[in-house]
Structure 1
Amino acid sequence: MISTEEAFSILENLSYPERVVEVPLFNARNHVLAEAVFSSINMPPFRQATMDGFAIALHDELHYEIIGEVKAGDFFTEQLESGQAVKIFTGAAVPDSANAVIPVEKITVMDTILSVHERMKPEANIRQLGAQITKGAIALEKGTLLNPAAIGFLAGLGIPTVKVFKKPRIAFITTGNELVHHTEKLPEGKVYDSNTLMLTTALFDAGFDDVQLYQVEDDFDEVWKMLKSAIDNNDVIVTSGGISVGDYDFIGKALESLKVETLFYKVNQKPGKPLLAGKKDDKIIFALPGNPAATLTCFYVYVLPTLQKRSGMDYRYGSQLMKRLADDFIVDNVRSQFLKAFVSDDEVTVLSHQDSGMLNSFAIANALVYLPYGNYRLAKGDKVSVYSI
């Protein structure tokens, strides 16, 4: 059995091949850029009015002759002479011969005569050509995670496709004769399968959409065939259940038969002690315990950072977030603990119902508190290590 820190170190030192794909911008959400993107245009591509008003050719008087109008999407080609103005709307192209925009609240209009209430400085209320970015400049660096704002920015530059790091294809396998789909009637001796929907939702929330689902009963040959298929056709394989040492726990035996290299098995932690990480070629396998809270804990602490690492994202094994305890807490455990918790402002509250089979407190948790093993007392206000989830 190894410590959590040793498990983190093993996973941290793994390397994976970089796979780059070119995708339409619409499909690039939550991907990481594999190369820098350069702007092919100036943005804005013209001098742009920042508000509704009048574009004017400045002169020494306070009165201007109105000779036209410029809506967003129009382009005024006539020459403004000194003392002339055109009505203009936010975002519209300012005529080259205009040198200021005066807002509507600072003018009075009588027929075709515009009277200004104060003199404007040259280039007032005009966003200059290329003010956001100039043609040929780097729009987004390699390694940028493409969130909605980044997608919008690139769309505004007319970028149709981007090269991104390909995300791993994920297999999720649940095992157990006792499992019943949550929509079916529950027979005696059975339990509803919560892990499949829970882990699939967690993967989708984290931006991993390419997920293949498998379910297998507790039979060695069936488990072996299912695992082989999953390993052959996916990059990351996650199993739930069947990894302990019971008579019907076949995951470990099947992985050994399939020549999967064990990176570690059993971590000195609670929940999730019977956790296995394995490797075959560039595929990585996580065999998680079947208890729902243990499954989800191991996912957030070990599986998710690995998926992020393989996708070119920022990732972290181990928490670097420290928060103050809202209450006193006594630690008396031979295993390090990941406790379901709720963070509010700078405080963290350890929740009740910490059993590895209980999800009710996980449903309201937004963090995990990590407490190293030992016998000690923590006082209210002491700082503890926290994982955001």
Structure 2
Amino acid sequence: MITVTEAKHIISNNVTALKPVTLPLLQARGKVLSTDVFATVDIPAFPQSAMDGYAFAYDDLQKELVIEGEMAAGSSSTIELTTGKAIRIFTGAPVPAGADTVVMQEKVKAENGILIIEDDKLQRNSNVRPVGSEIKAGELALPKGSVLTAAAIGFLAGIGVTKVEVIPDPVISILLTGNELQQPGNPLSYGQVYESNSYSLTAALQSLHLPVHRVYKVEDNPEVLTATLQQALDESDLVLLTGGVSVGDYDFVLQAAEKCGVTKQFHKIKQRPGKPLFFGTKDEKLVFGLPGNPSSVITCFYEYVTEALALQTKRPLQLKAVQTILAKDCIKPIGLSHFQKAYYDGEKVLPLTAQESYKLNSFATANCLLMLEGEKEAYKTNDPVTIHLLPV
């Protein structure tokens, strides 16, 4: 067995970013740019009014100005303002040639076609957005590696971009093993349990804004499992198997992975829950064999699969680590790192009850995982600890 640190190091050394794709701008939200984006035009492309008011030449400030016409946003008129004249103008409209200043409408008197300016703080070029004042043609708009937030999408649209080259979402398949599984909503026969792992994994991926391509349910049969895993590998960048990674008579995941050409990177970690975790690769495709107990599945997803997803997508998908203190004493066996379901109130972290790997009831109210080091047995109230915050 290897340590938690060693397992995460192996993942980081065996996962590469997915090949870039070109997407329409609105389909790229949340993704990471794989190349620099440059502006092709000046923004704004013309001197632009920043206010509703009146445009005029600053040299005419002390004069009574004759109001002549108006300029609205979107106007394509090429008016040239002559000396002694002012034009009614609105926010976003082009400032006509001959004008260099806009006065707010609240700072004037306009009577009988004459404009009197009452703004003693007005300066030349006030309330005028110069050509290229947001960005000039040829300038870097967003660098490679930028996450395309809503504001970034809007900015790129505002400079005329319609498509971008980004790191795509991985194609993710979930493969469920276990003859004992029954779909929720159906009655349980003796010996059956409700299948919940695909639900928790799908929801966890949704919280990261990642879709699930397909969920497979496979009986405990090595030939069927091998064929289904091969199909999932053909279709996917990442395959998540649940169950079948231990050493029982019906645990066939390792055997199936080997037959599909998956190279084992590690199997078994000195941790609880999730000790039998498997990680393998086939070319650039990733396979995680998650232990079947529900708490083990979701814990291993958060602690290890998110690390791999962050590397595939170049997005910050890993859990956020926070240093805090314990709210009560805690004891664990020496030799295994523990990821305990816990609740963090912003000041201290409280380990919850029901830490067994088959129980999700306390996980349902947890907002973090409390990491307890492998070589330490006893923790005291107010001891410093590390927690990993769970996404909502």
TM value normalised by structure 1: 0.91
CA contact (8 A) 2:37 2:140 kept: yes
Gaps of 5+ in 1: none
2: CA distance, partners of 1:365 / 1:65: 70
Cα deviation digits, residues 91-120 of structure 1 (max 9, x gap): 222223222222222222224222222231
Q: CA deviation at 1:130?
A: 1.1
2: CA distance, partners of 1:210 / 1:43: 39
Q: CA deviation at 1:62?
A: 5.9
Q: CA deviation at 1:258?
A: 3.0
2: CA distance, partners of 1:311 / 1:132: 30
Specify the alignment match of 1:177 in structure 2: 179
- Matching of residue 260 in structure 1 with residue 262 in structure 2: yes
CA contact (8 A) 1:61 1:83 kept: no
Matched-pair identity in %: 37
Specify the alignment match of 1:38 in structure 2: 38
1: CA distance, partners of 2:304 / 2:67: 67
CA contact (8 A) 1:40 1:136 kept: yes
Shift of the 388–93 alpha-carbon distance from structure 1 to 2, 3 Å rule, reads farther
Specify the alignment match of 1:57 in structure 2: 57
Shift of the 112–351 alpha-carbon distance from structure 1 to 2, 3 Å rule, reads farther
Q: CA deviation at 1:381?
A: 6.7
Q: CA deviation at 1:43?
A: 1.4
Amino acid at match of 1:2: I
Q: Is the partner of 2:174 in helix, strand or coil?
A: strand
Cα deviation digits, residues 43-63 of structure 1 (max 9, x gap): 122222222222222224263
Specify the alignment match of 1:297 in structure 2: 299
Gaps of 5+ in 2: none
Q: CA deviation at 1:139?
A: 0.8
CA contact (8 A) 2:173 2:240 kept: yes
2: CA distance, partners of 1:95 / 1:239: 66
Specify the alignment match of 1:339 in structure 2: 340
2: CA distance, partners of 1:136 / 1:258: 49
Q: CA deviation at 1:375?
A: 1.4
Q: Is the partner of 2:249 in helix, strand or coil?
A: coil
CA contact (8 A) 1:340 1:361 kept: yes
Q: Is the partner of 2:332 in helix, strand or coil?
A: strand
Of the three residues 180, 195, 200, the one matched with 2:197 is: 195
| Structure 1, 349-358 or 212-221: larger mean CA deviation | 349-358
Amino acid at match of 1:285: V
Q: CA deviation at 1:378?
A: 3.4
CA contact (8 A) 2:278 2:288 kept: yes
| Structure 1, 238-247 or 201-210: larger mean CA deviation | 201-210
1: CA distance, partners of 2:168 / 2:114: 61
Specify the alignment match of 1:155 in structure 2: 157
CA contact (8 A) 2:208 2:317 kept: no
- Matching of residue 85 in structure 1 with residue 86 in structure 2: yes
Shift of the 105–60 alpha-carbon distance from structure 1 to 2, 3 Å rule, reads closer
2: CA distance, partners of 1:365 / 1:103: 54
Q: CA deviation at 1:226?
A: 1.0
Q: CA deviation at 1:387?
A: 4.2
Shift of the 141–17 alpha-carbon distance from structure 1 to 2, 3 Å rule, reads closer
1: CA distance, partners of 2:348 / 2:133: 42
Q: Is the partner of 1:285 in helix, strand or coil?
A: strand
| Structure 1, 299-308 or 93-102: larger mean CA deviation | 93-102
Q: CA deviation at 1:309?
A: 0.7
Cα deviation digits, residues 324-370 of structure 1 (max 9, x gap): 22613323223211123344445444333333223333333332221
1: CA distance, partners of 2:359 / 2:48: 58
| Structure 1, 321-330 or 257-266: larger mean CA deviation | 321-330
Q: Is the partner of 2:33 in helix, strand or coil?
A: coil
Shift of the 196–109 alpha-carbon distance from structure 1 to 2, 3 Å rule, reads same
Shift of the 62–324 alpha-carbon distance from structure 1 to 2, 3 Å rule, reads farther
Specify the alignment match of 1:109 in structure 2: 110
Shift of the 210–182 alpha-carbon distance from structure 1 to 2, 3 Å rule, reads closer
Of the three residues 125, 135, 138, the one matched with 1:136 is: 138
1: CA distance, partners of 2:147 / 2:205: 17
| Structure 1, 320-329 or 261-270: larger mean CA deviation | 320-329
2: CA distance, partners of 1:97 / 1:311: 51
Shift of the 364–132 alpha-carbon distance from structure 1 to 2, 3 Å rule, reads farther
Q: Is the partner of 1:146 in helix, strand or coil?
A: coil
- Matching of residue 378 in structure 1 with residue 380 in structure 2: yes
2: CA distance, partners of 1:76 / 1:170: 54
CA contact (8 A) 1:75 1:95 kept: no
Specify the alignment match of 1:278 in structure 2: 280
